[in-house]
Amino acid sequence: MSNRTFTMIKPDAVKNGHIGNILQMINAAGFRIIAMKYTRISLEQAGKFYEVHSARPFYGELTEFMSSGPIVAAILEKDNAVADFRTLIGATNPAEAAEGTVRKLYATSIGENAVHGSDSDENAKIEGDFFFNGLERF
C-alpha cells in the first residue's frame, strides 16, 4: 500500500476556474496535503517531467500544453494513495471516465484532462521530488 502520490491541476482546469472544486474533492476523498504550489513550468521543464513519453506522438502537444499556463502541483498522502487517487480522477480520456470523477466533471479532452496523477509509487516519488524540496513538505 502506497502512502503518497503526486498531482497537478493542469492549465485547462486552472483557466476554467476549477482549482477550488478539485481541491475540495481531494480533501473529501481523505487525502492530506503534504506539499502544494501554484506555479508555471517552462517548455523545457515540461519536457523533462514527461520525458517517459518523449517517443509518443503527443509529446509536443503535451509539453506545450503543460507549459501554457499556471498549474497547482501537490504531494498527497493517504493509504493506497496512488490507486485511490487514480480512482478519484478517472480514466485519462474523459470520454471513458466514470461518473463523478474529476476528469468526467472537469476535463475536456484526452490532452486537456484537468489533472495528473502518478501511475506508480516509484513515479510518485520522482514527480514529487521534481517540484518540492524537503523544506516544502509538511
CB of 84 to ligand CMP, least distance (A): 15
Under rule CB under 6 A, residue 58 binds ligand CMP:
yes
Told to judge if 116 belongs to the known catalytic residues of this protein, a careful annotator would answer yes
User: Is residue 130 involved in binding ligand CMP (CB under 6 A)?
Assistant: no
- From 7, 72, 116, 118, the catalytic residue: 116
Q: 25, 62, 71, 114: which one contacts ligand CMP (CB under 6 A)? A: 62
Radius of gyration of the chain (CA): 14
Q: Residue with C-alpha cell 502518478?
A: 118
82 binds ligand CMP per the rule CB under 6 A: no
| The C-alpha cell that represents 88 in the structure block | 478519484
Number of H helices, E strands in the chain: 7, 4
Q: Residue from 116, 127, 131, 132 that binds ligand CMP (CB under 6 A)?
A: 116
Produce one character per residue of 44-82: b if its CB has 16 or more CB atoms within 10 Å, e if not: ebbbebbeeeeeeeebeebbebbbbeebbbbbbbbeebb
The residues annotated as belonging to the active site are 116
| Chain positions contacting ligand CMP, by CB under 6 A | 53, 58, 61-62, 92, 110-111, 113, 116
